[in-house]
Amino acid sequence: MSKIPVKDISKEPEMVSLYKKREKIYVREIHGLFQKLRSVSLWLLMLGYFGTPWLNLGERQAVLFDLPARQFHIWGMTFWPQDFMLLSWILIICAFGLFTITNLAGRVWCGYTCPQSAWSFIFMWIEERTEGTRNQRIKLDKAPNSIEKIRKKALKHTMWLVVAAWTGITFVGYFAPIRELVPDFFMFDISAWAFFWIGFFTVATYINAGWMREQVCIYMCPYARFQSVMYDSDTLAVSYDPNRGEPRGKRSKNKAKAAEQEALGDCVDCSMCVQVCPTGIDIRDGLQYQCIGCALCIDACDDIMEKLDKPKGLIRYTTENELAGGKIHLMRPRLFGYSAAVFAMMGMLAFTIYDRTPFQLDIERDRGRLYQMTVNDTVQNSYTLKLINMSQEPKSYSLSVEGLDGLNIIGKTDFDLDVNQLKEVSINLEIDPEVTKTKASKTNIEFIISETATGEEITREESRFIAPRS
């Protein structure tokens, strides 16, 4: 007789947590070639970020995003909301640039220049100076509360907050003149919005770089998730060489184990590569999405190899192909395609900026009336012109109209505009209806702006003139 299998469902189901509890990472400080390279990139980044808003060009801050005036001043050029197309271009170029660099050398952006990594490294540096080395920090966290522990922790958090606040002030300094913002901030005389954004960026920096650190890279950064699609077997990545390192094992001075020791690979299983890793992973487990490509494990392992009198490079920048016994091929069709696209787009962007008309003309027809008849029996159309001088010097401009013979401009035709000045002017165009009666009721016309001093045409915009049919 066959039995029907039954399952006991009377017991409480076992709860399995889908969330892994965070284990605090105590990163060991390491010195070496790649640590030096990152120090250089970090210093350059910090100098650029904290220093740029303090630089002036002429009377004005060299980089200032003046939102109330809707003007974006970048190194002597002024961009307007109308130029936002250029911003899309810049973002597309950055995205392609990131694809290119990732295809070439993996996550070098994350390891050397990403603000999250850069600020995290500053905060770790402060931690090392205030709480001591990795082992001292582990001991301190396990120790019961004491005056000394509270003093060290308080000093660390105060220093973190100072860096975070200065980061927030600097960020707002890109949107409000920083030379006025900083004294006003210390005098408590800043706007509520400035105060809000300084507070927001202070808190965000303190939490992201102080508390969340690798969690941002592992769980929040979208780049970590899709970077693998840009990799191929010729992408340079920080990798452990298992052919050379395995079987790994600790070395022993016991002569009885000499034969066993002989069979071991170069990895002495010292775990230094894990202890220096800011994301807490073991690179010996292979390429992982948590790896930010900082190469600190290379420095750590090279240091060990040097002490053991073995060649460096057990962990190194290499490719999947090379680890499989092949060669490193840096230039390949995919990378060539990405690079060509980036350079072509950069060239086009540079040409567009160079060729940009330093003047903006917007024309609005009076929507209320198609046309009006005057007491002199002429037809008039009304227009509002918006003129912006986007060049870096005050200029005089002249207005003319083409497209319909006998058309007169009623209103001002000469305008003086200061640098970045916007002027709104109303004008009427007038014509004898005899001229238009043989034409269509709507005629395309062009408004032309020329520079008064040289007579050179700056820009022309199309509009329409409407007149009765008969």
Interface residues with ligand SF4 (CB under 6 A) are: 238, 240, 245, 267-273, 276-279, 281, 283-284, 291-297, 300-301, 304, 314-315
User: Min. distance of Cβ 264 from ligand SF4 in angstroms?
Assistant: 11
With respect to ligand SF4, which residue has the nearer C-beta, 299 or 430? 299
With respect to ligand SF4, which residue has the nearer C-beta, 79 or 240? 240
User: Min. distance of Cβ 311 from ligand SF4 in angstroms?
Assistant: 12
With respect to ligand SF4, which residue has the nearer C-beta, 227 or 279? 279
Strands 63-66 and 60-61, by their bridges, are unpaired
Which residue has tokens 């159309």?
381
With respect to ligand SF4, which residue has the nearer C-beta, 118 or 385? 118
User: Min. distance of Cβ 236 from ligand SF4 in angstroms?
Assistant: 12
Alpha carbon distances (Å) from 439 to 22, 271, 428, 433, 446: 79, 88, 20, 10, 17
User: Min. distance of Cβ 27 from ligand SF4 in angstroms?
Assistant: 9
Six token digits for residue 441: 């009721």
With respect to ligand SF4, which residue has the nearer C-beta, 168 or 278? 278
| DSSP track, 46-110 | HHHHHHGGG-EETTEESEEEETTTTEEEETTEEE-GGGHHHHHHHHHHHHHHHHHHHHHHSSHII
User: Min. distance of Cβ 170 from ligand SF4 in angstroms?
Assistant: 27
With respect to ligand SF4, which residue has the nearer C-beta, 304 or 387? 304
CB-based contact 63:53 (threshold 8 Å): yes
User: Min. distance of Cβ 30 from ligand SF4 in angstroms?
Assistant: 9
